[in-house]
Amino acid sequence: MRQQERIRVVVSGRVQGVFYRASTQEEATAIGVTGWVRNLDNGDVEFEAQGTPDQLQQLLQWAQRGPARALVTSLSQEACPLQLHEHRFEVRLCKSRSRRPCATRPS
């Protein structure tokens, strides 16, 4: 088995309401990466991804552009602990500090 790494990424810009989450899931699945993606209540998108360094680099290159309607202005990343029992990349409900649902817009 090749070396696995996991990263947490926060993407800022026009990234909600432009199918960023669904597109991230599609791209990650095509690359063979596991993890999750969700909207943040401040308008950013957050994802964690796990795969080989090459796979993660490929996903990061895509994430800097995003889907056609997105406008990414910044992307930050950090290393995370591996999740050993994760088998797919999923879209999660958003993270809201106030515990209320985030706006429901297509992503």
Query: How many CB atoms are closer than 10 A to CB 13?
Result: 17
Note if 21 is an active site residue. yes
**Catalytic residue, candidates 21, 92, 97, 100:** 21
Looking at 2, 6, 14, 39, which residue is catalytic?
Answer: 39
Binning the chain into helix, strand and coil, the percentages to the nearest 5 are: 25, 35, 40
Active site residue 42: no
**Class of residue 99 by CB neighbours under 10 A (exposed 0-12, middle 13-18, buried 19+):** exposed
Q: Which residues are catalytic?
A: 21, 39
